[in-house]
Every structure is written in structure tokens, then in C-alpha cells.
A and B are shown apart, each in its own frame.
Chain A
Amino acid sequence: MNTFKLLKNTQTSESHISTQKTADTSNRVHTHEHVHHALDVRCLNVTASGRTILDDVSLYVDAGEFVALIGPNGAGKTTLLRSILGLMNHSDAGISSFGAKLNPRSIGYVPQRHEFAWDFPITVRQTVLSGLTGMLKFGRWPRLEHYKAVEEAMKRADITHLAQRPIGELSGGQRQRVLVARALALRPSILLLDEPFTGLDMPTQELLNDLFRSLAREGHAVVMTTHDLISALNQCDRLYLINQTVQACGTREQLQDAKVWIDTFRIRETNPLLSALGLITSEQVSSGQVSSEQEESASGMNVPDATVRSISEFDMSSKNIRAEIYLAENKEKTCRELKGDEE
């Protein structure tokens, strides 16, 4: 049974498995072929006061990947991050980075914004510098190389112009950037972001998404937990659907089965979320009827029955979201084409 569980939950990089149920169970054990993963978690179990929080969670993230961990409240996303950081008691079959045991101190961790005391009288630069406190020993002052790392991190997060500003005077998006810069000061290969978009408006989210994607393109392994499923689906290279264990994982295209979303989020089949994610109407999108899709869905004509039912329960705003998904998809396609050209 245990072996089956282990096989069931582990994934290999060459065949992005889309669901647990359809998982090909042959040749799935993590072996030397996983040496190249920037973050490789195998069979992680967490129990707290007799209750199982995480059950045999296995995941990997490659350098250059932007991966989202999604799931409902209480699914164990934050627990997973805390376990990777070595802050929770857990058992595992190994957490490694490029084949070596992972040192949690080398991870860039960006906590939720409310964990931070924003009323503390400290400047942005000092805050970013505080990210190096663990690396410096007691009573040691930062040296030139540390200040250089701080300036570099601030430049990367685009907050150099705010360096002297007290943190209390920053906006939500700027605060998020400060936390990212503080994590970057360590020059980490792995970045863990805990719900970076909560409470931020759309333009700010877009800019932050750009930042996270470009950090990934520079070679960081970027992992984020989020409740913003639409943006995760569009912006991230891969997604892990988590509820106590890995329910499914894969790229946007591999996660088109509405069932895994229904199972992970424990929602009804008619939940507007599914159509907002484009899971119910995906046939239309792929068969090229999308140009007139907005009109169609507005009038409710020429749409399969199942879709009509969900669309009728669905307000105008989510139709716009669907249009956005389509646009983003096209954008992604263009990006891919461009990349192809470059190669």
C-alpha cells in the first residue's frame, strides 16, 4: 500500500502528469534523474495533534520555472511551504536541491504581507538588509559585499528609488516588492512566495506577476501559493492542485479536466469557477469559435447545453474573465512562437 502511495504521488519531469488517477505508475520513483531539480520534495507527511495535514506530498520545481500551489483554505499550502523551510515537524523521504540535501536557510522566503510589522520605524534599505541577518553571525556587521547584495536585490525588485522611505509609508504593491527584495538579498536559487497577491488590485498584481515570471526566467525556481486561480493558470508554467495531498499537477493544458478541480476544491459541477477557468467551454476555445464567443455567450445561443446551464448562473464579469483568459492564452501562444523563433 505504502509503495503504491509513493508511486502514485511522485512525478517525473519528462511526462507532466495531469492527474493522480491517470498517473502512469511505472518508473515514477525519484531517482538520479531528479538531480537537476532546484527543489525536489519526496513523500512529505505532516501531522499535527493526530490530524493529517499533508499526506505523501511530492513535488519538484526546476530552475527557471514559475509554479503555483493552489487549493482551498486549509488544504495545507502554507504548511507545505513551512515544512520546506524547516519550520514544521514533518517526515519525508528527502527534500533536495540539485541532488544535495536542501539547506532551508538558502531559500528566499516571502511571507504573507500581514506577517510583517509595517509600523516598525525602519527604512526600505534596512528591511532588505535584515534578510541577511541569519547569514551574519551574532555581533557581526554587514560588509561591502552584503550592501552590494542589498542594492542588487532592490534594483531587481525595482524599489531602489524607495530605499530611504520608511516602510510604513509604502503601498501594498511596494510592500510586496520590499519582501521580495529582502528574500532576493540572500541570492537564493529557490523563492517561496506565500499568497503574494492577497489584497492587491489588478494592475499591481500584473506588475508583480511580471516580476515573478522574469525572476523565474533568470533561473530562480519560483513557487507561490495563491487563491487567484485565473492568474495562476495564465502566468505559471505549472500548477499543483493541493488538498492534503497532490490532487493533480501539470501545465494549463494538462489541467483541463474539470473533475480534478471539483475534487480539489470540493465544489459543485455547476460552480461558476469552472467556467471562469474555461474548463467547461474549452471545446469552443480550441475549435476557433472564440472570435464570436462573447456574443454567443451573451445571447446564450449555439452553446452546448452543459455550458448554457453554467453560463446562466454566471454574471457578466466572469464572461469578461473568460475573454481575458482567451486573450492571455493568445498572448502565451505568441510568446511561445517568439521563443520558437529565438531558438
Chain B
Amino acid sequence: MLSIMDFINDLYNPILSFLPRALLVAAVSAVVCAIVGTHVVLRGMAFIGDAVAHAVFPGLAFSFITGGSLVLGGAVAGIATAILVALLSQNRRLKEDSVIGVLFVGAFALGIVIISRSAGYAGSLQDFLFGSLTGVSVDDIPLMLIGSLVVISILAFFNKELVAVSIDRETARALGIPVLFVDIVLYVSVALAVVISVQTIGNVLVLALLVAPAATARLVTNRMSSMMTVASILSLISSFVGIYLSWALDLPAGATIVCVLTVVFASVWLCAPHHGILAKYFSTWKMHKNLSD
């Protein structure tokens, strides 16, 4: 197996220039997804995140066969779905999850129909769905960096409204906060975060990048700001380790990153100081022991 030093040497190898590029994009998407994901986890809207992630696919497919910018194509499709989900979910006759269930599978199917028009589509389909280290083109990088900055700025700008709507929707409405608009802002941020990360980690797996780091961070923090920070750091480390393992063992990049994230989540879930399973078990055991003494 390749050692860490060999991996770092490879990063500086000009022939392997796609490798640092993939690492950069993975790092940026790790941070953006961790911050957006904090809102997603706290609102309990993982399913909406999944829907928006899948809805990006037809846009990517369309850009792919027409030779346009993948980031732009994905962003347009994602934002359109985000707004559609927000509007349709206001109608309480149909439960939100049904609307999303119909929309996201429909969008995904449309994406597959579009991409099947290109010759030899199986290979590119796999790259889209599961990500690839070599997938990031040089032209897309500036657009991605700008997109990341835009997403983080949007979330910072609307932070107090996002929090007010998340903690108490009804009162937020009573306070005169435009709840639908705030929802759309969050859904669009999710769409943009997905578009930024979809090329390295893949369309199917991007949900893990949104949810896993934030969920892990929630187990060890009690403040939103610290939750975002911890989630970003965990996500950065996991992405680095994931890409290293993927390069060293010749594994698919997205899947490896997600496996690392899952292992981190499981370990924290077990061992977190206050909210971990072991800590709870231990405190119960200690209480029983004290009682029997």
C-alpha cells in the first residue's frame, strides 16, 4: 500500500495534476456541505437534501451531452427543483415527503434518459453517480470556488432568519419573516453545495457529505457555530483520508470518503463524552453500582 509520504509526493507530480485538483474540490465541498448540512440536520430535512441532490442530475446530464458547463447546468436544475419543492410543500393536502418522492425520482429518471442519448454513456453515468478523482476539469475550478463563497455568504447573511424559522416556524410567520423565501434560500444553498461536490463524490453519495459530518458534530456540540466548525473539520479530515485511501488502494473516491465519514460517525456515536452510547451505558452502570453498594 502507498504510504502517506508517497501520496504527498504524488500530489506534487505534474503528470498527476488532477490529484491536487480533486483534493482541492473535495476540501471545498467538505466545508460547504458541512455548513449547509448543519442547517439540513437541524431542520430534519435530510430527505429534501436527497431530493435536491438527485434533481441536479438532469442538469448535469444535459450539460454533459451538449458540452456546456457542468456546474452551471447542475445549478440551474437544482435551483429549479429547490423552488418547486418549496412551493409544492406549502400545500398541506399532500405530505411533503410524497411530493419530494415523486419529484426526485422523476428528475433522476429524466437525467438518465438524457444521458442515455450520448454514446458510451455507461462510463460517464458511473462517474456522475459515484464520483471520480479525474472528473474535475480545470475550467470548473474558479466557478466552484466562487460558488462556495456565494453559498457561505448567503447562509451567513440569512443566518438569523434561518434559525428563527428552524426553531419555530409558526412564530417566525407571526413575526413577519417570509418563511417561504427563507425555505427557498436554504434549498437553493443545498442545491449549490451538491453541484460543487457532485463531481468528486458523486450524485448518489453526496447526501452523506451533507448529513454525516453535521450529525456527528451534533453529538459533541451544543452551539450552532461550534457544530459548523466541528462538522467542517471532521469533513475535511475524512475527505483527505478518503482520497488518500482511494488513491492508495485504488478504490472509488466518493465511496471511500463516505465510508470514512460513516466510520467517524459510528465511533463518535459510540464514544461521545456525554451523548455517546458507551457514556450513557457507563453512567447507568455506575448508578446501579452505587445503588447496590
- With A121-B223, A123-B223 given, is the CB distance from A130 to B164 under 8 Å? yes
Contact B175 A116 (CB under 8 A): no
Report the minimal beta-carbon distance from A154 to chain B, rounded to whole angstroms. Answer: 17
User: B222: which of A107, A166, A182 is its contact (CB, 8 Å)?
Assistant: A166
CA distance A86 to B173 in the complex (A): 9
Asked if B168 is at the interface (CB within 8 A of a chain A CB), the reply is yes
User: A117: which of B166, B176, B218 is its contact (CB, 8 Å)?
Assistant: B166
- With A120-B42, A121-B223, A138-B157 given, is the CB distance from A115 to B168 under 8 Å? yes
User: A116: which of B158, B167, B174, B221 is its contact (CB, 8 Å)?
Assistant: B167
- With A115-B171, A117-B167, A120-B167 given, is the CB distance from A105 to B176 under 8 Å? yes
Residues of A within 8 A of B172 (CB): 133-134
Asked if B170 is at the interface (CB within 8 A of a chain A CB), the reply is yes
Residues of B within 8 A of A87 (CB): 170, 173-174
Q: Which of B163, B167, B170, B222 has the most CB of A within 10 A?
A: B167
CA distance A188 to B176 in the complex (A): 15
Residues of A within 8 A of B168 (CB): 111, 115-117, 130
Asked if A203 is at the interface (CB within 8 A of a chain B CB), the reply is no
B140-194: which have CB < 8 Å to A?
A: 157-158, 160-161, 163-164, 166-177
User: A109: which of B157, B174, B218 is its contact (CB, 8 Å)?
Assistant: B174
Contact B170 A133 (CB under 8 A): no
Residues of A within 8 A of B42 (CB): 117, 120-121
Contact A136 B160 (CB under 8 A): yes
Asked if A131 is at the interface (CB within 8 A of a chain B CB), the reply is yes
Asked if A104 is at the interface (CB within 8 A of a chain B CB), the reply is yes
CA distance A107 to B173 in the complex (A): 12
Contact A138 B158 (CB under 8 A): yes
A1-50: which have CB < 8 Å to B?
A: none
- With A115-B170, A134-B177 given, is the CB distance from A122 to B161 under 8 Å? no
CA distance A182 to B163 in the complex (A): 14
Complex: chain A residue closest to B43, CB-CB: A117
- With A122-B224, A166-B222 given, is the CB distance from A105 to B160 under 8 Å? no
Report the minimal beta-carbon distance from A83 to chain B, rounded to whole angstroms. Answer: 11
Contact A85 B174 (CB under 8 A): yes
Contact A133 B167 (CB under 8 A): no
Complex: chain B residue closest to A81, CB-CB: B174
Complex: chain A residue closest to B225, CB-CB: A121
Q: Which of B168, B169, B222 has the most CB of A within 10 A?
A: B168
CA distance A175 to B164 in the complex (A): 16
Report the minimal beta-carbon distance from B45 to chain A, rounded to whole angstroms. Answer: 12
User: A122: which of B167, B170, B174, B218 is its contact (CB, 8 Å)?
Assistant: B167
Q: Mark A180-217, 1 if CB is under 8 A from B, else 0.
A: 00100000000000000000000000000000000000
Report the minimal beta-carbon distance from B245 to chain A, rounded to whole angstroms. Answer: 31
Asked if A139 is at the interface (CB within 8 A of a chain B CB), the reply is yes
Q: Mark A266-284, 1 if CB is under 8 A from B, else 0.
A: 0000000000000000000
Residues of A within 8 A of B167 (CB): 116-117, 120, 122, 127, 130
Residues of A within 8 A of B210 (CB): none
Residues of A within 8 A of B236 (CB): none
Q: Mark B263-284, 1 if CB is under 8 A from A, else 0.
A: 0000000000000000000000
CA distance A218 to B131 in the complex (A): 63
Asked if B136 is at the interface (CB within 8 A of a chain A CB), the reply is no
Contact B174 A139 (CB under 8 A): no
Residues of B within 8 A of A139 (CB): 157-158
Residues of A within 8 A of B170 (CB): 87, 111, 115
Complex: chain A residue closest to B38, CB-CB: A121
Asked if B227 is at the interface (CB within 8 A of a chain A CB), the reply is yes
Residues of B within 8 A of A168 (CB): 222
CA distance A136 to B161 in the complex (A): 10
CA distance A111 to B174 in the complex (A): 10
Contact A120 B166 (CB under 8 A): yes
Report the minimal beta-carbon distance from B128 to chain A, rounded to whole angstroms. Answer: 35
CA distance A166 to B192 in the complex (A): 31
Complex: chain B residue closest to A109, CB-CB: B174
Report the minimal beta-carbon distance from B48 to chain A, rounded to whole angstroms. Answer: 16
CA distance A120 to B41 in the complex (A): 10
CA distance A65 to B4 in the complex (A): 73
Complex: chain A residue closest to B162, CB-CB: A133
Contact A104 B223 (CB under 8 A): no
Residues of B within 8 A of A136 (CB): 160
Contact A107 B174 (CB under 8 A): yes
Complex: chain A residue closest to B222, CB-CB: A166
Report the minimal beta-carbon distance from A309 to chain B, rounded to whole angstroms. Answer: 44
Q: Mark A96-139, 1 if CB is under 8 A from B, else 0.
A: 00000000110101010001110011110011001101111011
CA distance A136 to B157 in the complex (A): 12
Contact B227 A121 (CB under 8 A): yes
Contact B158 A134 (CB under 8 A): no
Residues of B within 8 A of A127 (CB): 167
Contact B174 A133 (CB under 8 A): no
User: What are the 10 tightest A-B residue pairs by CB atom distance, in nearest-first order?
Assistant: A134-B175, A134-B176, A133-B164, A166-B222, A85-B174, A105-B176, A109-B174, A130-B164, A116-B168, A117-B167
Return 23 A-B CB contacts under 8 Å, by A number.
Answer: A86-B174, A87-B174, A104-B174, A105-B175, A105-B176, A111-B168, A111-B171, A116-B167, A117-B166, A117-B167, A120-B167, A120-B224, A121-B218, A121-B227, A122-B167, A133-B163, A133-B164, A133-B175, A134-B175, A136-B160, A138-B157, A166-B223, A168-B222
Interface positions of A (Cβ within 8 A of B):
85-87, 104-105, 107, 109, 111, 115-117, 120-123, 126-127, 130-131, 133-136, 138-139, 166, 168, 182
A87-B170, A134-B164, A168-B222 are known; give 5 further A-B pairs, CB within 8 A.
A87-B173, A105-B174, A116-B167, A130-B163, A130-B167
